[in-house]
Amino acid sequence: MALPHDSNETSYLLPPNHEDWDRQAIPDFVYGQKDLMAEGIQWPRNAPGILEALPQSPFDAALCSAWKQRVELGLFRYRLRELQTQILPGAVGFVAQLNVERGVQRRRPQTIKSVRQAFDPEQFNFNKIQPGEVLFRLHREPDLPGTLLQEDILVVINVSPLEWGHVLLVPEPARGLPQRLLPGALRAGIEAVLLSLHPGFRVGFNSLGGLASVNHLHLHGYYLAHRLPVEQAPSEPLDPGGHLHLLQGLPAPGFLFYTRGPGLDLESLICRVCRATDYLADREIAHNLFVTRGAPPGKTSLSSALTGVRVILWARKSCFGIKDGEAFNVALCELAGHLPVKTSQDFSNLTEAAAVALIQDCRLPPSQAEEVQAALVALMSQEEQ
């Protein structure tokens, strides 16, 4: 069972005295192979996936209890209430949520001009956050593949949350890594999904130019009590080895990678995904990535079981800055089908057609999309040789 480092009790709460926060060591959340749950996690048939209605893993309990305490302590920019939610009528199944406060109170994005922009210590970064914003550190036991590449991954609250339990996974913040996906960060993100018993705990990554607002390496993780289209959307294979698939039935087709869980298969997937994101970053192509429990590739349906983890990668047009006039901005969760909407009027008037148009406006031109697809297929083929 996952435990805090050097302790038999789970305690990720801050001491009552604010002055003691600086002196409290960051607790470790230690986990091993047995804590990564690859199968048997499904949506309830007759109930929504609210946190209280589902069993919690040690990871869920640690994250949710610590996150809730930070809410009570007022460490967020706003107090997240239950968000008004609707499933947009239509074939896609968009989950739209009204989150006015995030649209108004979130930190303004940094000035980004390049997908490969260097880290700037003078800009806001995660070395400048309050001590109480750090919940715990992910610590992998030696029985897991890749442990020799162990990195300190801090789990930090997102002070402008999209949804309940919205955290950031920040690898070794003192190193000043720019927002470019690395294997250790992706491994932590996938393993976080496998550590949760909630089918709606997802993780994602926005590149620079893909609406990352801070140029300091981080992934997002959060709970959403709704199915999303990407979990079971059908796909077709693109390479002979079956490692790369094209996700279909969505406004923006994505590249689908799939693993049944921990082990060598997962390590191979991490290498393939990072080779793909390196290719995109090296060519100044913005991208978004989404990690969720999902069905295997191929022909699927709404009844398909969530037997593994889907990692979906979208190459997209670069967008530097926030478009204030739009109902929503297109990044990792919007491409996956979760639409946080900024105003009541837009929420009331939003249609599937309007959402599809906004998302499709971020797609690469057809000729460039074909070039990227061919290049990624070639990368996967090289691995087989």
Q: Are 101 and 340 in contact (CB under 8 A)?
A: no
Q: Is 166 a known active-site residue?
A: no
Spatial separation of the C-alpha atoms in residues 286 and 212, rounded to whole Å: 10
Of 139, 216, 218, 338, catalytic: 218
Spatial separation of the C-alpha atoms in residues 45 and 163, rounded to whole Å: 22
Q: Which two tokens stand for residue 13?
A: 């709460």
Q: How buried is 13 (Cβ within 10 angstroms: 0-12 exposed, 13-18 middle, 19+ buried)?
A: middle
Query: Burial code of 85-121, b = ≥16 C-beta within 10 A, e = fewer?
Result: beebeeebbbbbbbbbbbbeebeebbebeebebeeee
Q: Are 29 and 59 in contact (CB under 8 A)?
A: yes
Contacts of 30 (CB under 8 A, 6+ apart): 2, 3, 4, 5, 139, 140, 141
Spatial separation of the C-alpha atoms in residues 319 and 289, rounded to whole Å: 15
Q: Which residues are catalytically annotated?
A: 218
